[in-house]
Amino acid sequence: MPDRPAPDAEESTVGAQRPTRFAADVVYRGRAEDHDYLVRVRHRLLDTSFTVVLDGVEHDPKGEEGEHEAPPADGLRFRLEESFTGLRCTVRRPDEDGELTDAEVLVVHTAGLGGAGEVDVRHGLERTPLAPEEGSPSAARDARRLAHPVRSALLAALARAAGFLLPLLGLSALLGGLLDPVRAWISARLSPILEAIGRVVDPVRQWVAELLRPLRDLRDAVLAPVFEVLEALLQPVVSVWDRFWELVRGLLPDLAVSVPDWLFEVLVPAVVVAVVFVATFRRLRRRARRLDAARQAGASAGASDDDAGRARTRAASAAGTGGQEGLGEAEGPSLPPSSSGPS
């Protein structure tokens, strides 16, 4: 199996795409459930792709999705689900018996026209956002949304409400005024044809009805006794049910309230907007806290890496100095210069 490229070897190529409203290359970092993630995303409209460094091992989920290739060193497999706005990547980890089971889900979302987005790691209902690199379009988008959470939540609520109400009410209810002239034109053109077809079909229908009348009369004559028996058997049950409801109505006060029809037409969209607004606002607040935690974790990891690098540099310098001293001792003690002059 060929060696996988180290994470730092490819990181320099990320960002080769100049950020525009339609395309951006963004690196996301974070830690969730004791696993480290570094995700490189190519945000494109309808063509988003990504690679991930998971606990130090480079993966291309799209290339490793099938079972035909040799498994990587950590034994992980992936399952991708594409949508119009991004990707869902299910990480499949081997269990104690070596069987692959679904673990976390990487959700890569491309926002707008493709120039920014976000990446979340989901463990069941728990969602952990990964922090975008500083100065990227995704970081600027997060800063704008978190600076104005009320406005962002309201826009998201209106968009979600429209997506909910369009299938519920239908385009005919929303565009009825625009479609009325079209329906009138089609009706005027088709009315002569439908009337001609009716004049031809009506005599045939009447003849068939007269032909089948004896069969219907025979059916009614045969089933009439059966219906009378069923009615006699069910009459006690119906009487008990009616007395029960009369008793219930007598115990309850009269709650008859006239509700106008337009109330439901206004109430349903208002409730949808309010619920989505509250949920989105809370999600933005929670996302802000978790993004700060992810950035702090990344800064701590970077600082520890810098300390480790400086320690390795000091160790190498000390080793070099010790080698030079050992080399001088091996050559022997240096003799003092001989003094010239009369003895």
86 and 180, same domain (yes or no): no
Average pLDDT, consecutive stretches of 10 residues, N- to C-terminus, the chain (343 residues): 45 63 89 89 88 90 70 82 88 86 91 87 87 88 83 78 66 58 82 87 89 89 87 88 83 62 68 81 80 71 51 55 48 45 41
In this prediction the pTM is 0.54
Give the whole-angstrom CA distance, residue 54 versus residue 77: 12
Claim to verify: residue 158 and residue 124 sit in the same structural domain: no
What is the Rg, in whole angstroms, of the alpha carbon atoms belonging to the chain? 38
**250, part of any domain:** no
Taking the C-alpha atoms of residue 139 and residue 19, their distance in angstroms, rounded to an integer, is 12
- For the chain, the domain total comes to 2
Are residue 46 and residue 126 in the same domain, yes or no? yes
Cβ neighbours for 76, distance < 8 A, ≥ 6 positions apart:
54, 57, 59, 64, 91, 92, 93, 94
What is the structure's pLDDT at 62? 85
Q: Which run of H or of E encompasses 132?
A: strand 131-132
Separation of alpha carbons 343 and 339, rounded Å: 10
Contact in structure between 276 and 160 (CB atoms under 8 Å)? yes
What are the C-alpha distances in Å from 113 to residues 7, 202, 295? Answer: 29, 58, 26
At 106 the pLDDT is: 93
- Establish if 241 belongs to a structural domain: no
DSSP 8-state symbol, 283 = H
56 vs 74: CA distance, rounded Å: 10
Cα 262 to Cα 27: distance, rounded to the nearest angstrom: 50
Q: What is the per-residue pLDDT for 107? A: 92
Assess if residue 122 is contained within a domain.
yes
Considering the domain architecture, whether residues 53 and 92 belong to the same structural domain is answered as yes
Question: Which pLDDT does position 152 carry in this prediction?
Answer: 79
pLDDT, residue 243, reads 87
The answer to whether residue 34 is domain-embedded is yes
Domain limits for position 153:
148-203+265-292
d(CA 14, CA 12): 6
The pLDDT assigned to 167 comes to: 64
- Alpha-helical (H) ranges within 16-148 are 137-147
Residues 58 and 101 in one domain: yes
Distances in whole angstroms, Cα of residue 281 to Cα of each of 77, 245, 277, 285: 35, 46, 6, 6
Please tell me whether residues 26 and 93 are part of one structural domain. Answer: yes
Q: Residue 258: what are its φ and ψ, rounded to 5°?
A: -80, 120
- Picking from 74, 58, 49, the residue whose alpha carbon sits closest to that of residue 7 is 58
Question: Does any domain span residue 166?
Answer: yes
125 and 153 in a single domain? The answer is: no
Please check whether residue 328 lies inside any domain of the structure.
Answer: no
CB of 39 within 8 A of CB of 30? no
Distance CA 316, CA 313 (A): 5
H or E segment to which residue 94 belongs: strand 86-94
- Are 189 and 124 in a shared domain? no
Distance CA 253, CA 209 (A): 52
Same domain, 108 and 158: no
117 within some domain: yes
**20 and 123 together in one domain:** yes
Other C-beta atoms closer than 10 Å to the C-beta of 233 total: 9
| Residue that finishes a domain, picked among 76, 104, 130 | 130
272 shares a domain with 157: yes
Closest by CA position to 83, among listed 116, 111, 109, 113: 109
Count Cβ atoms below 10 Å from residue 7 Cβ, excluding itself.
Answer: 15
Same domain, 168 and 286: yes
Rounded CA-CA distance 276/144 in Å is 20
DSSP class of 252: S
CB 302 within 8 A of CB 133: no
- Residue 301: count of CB within 10 angstroms of its CB: 13
Note whether residue 58 is domain-resident. Answer: yes
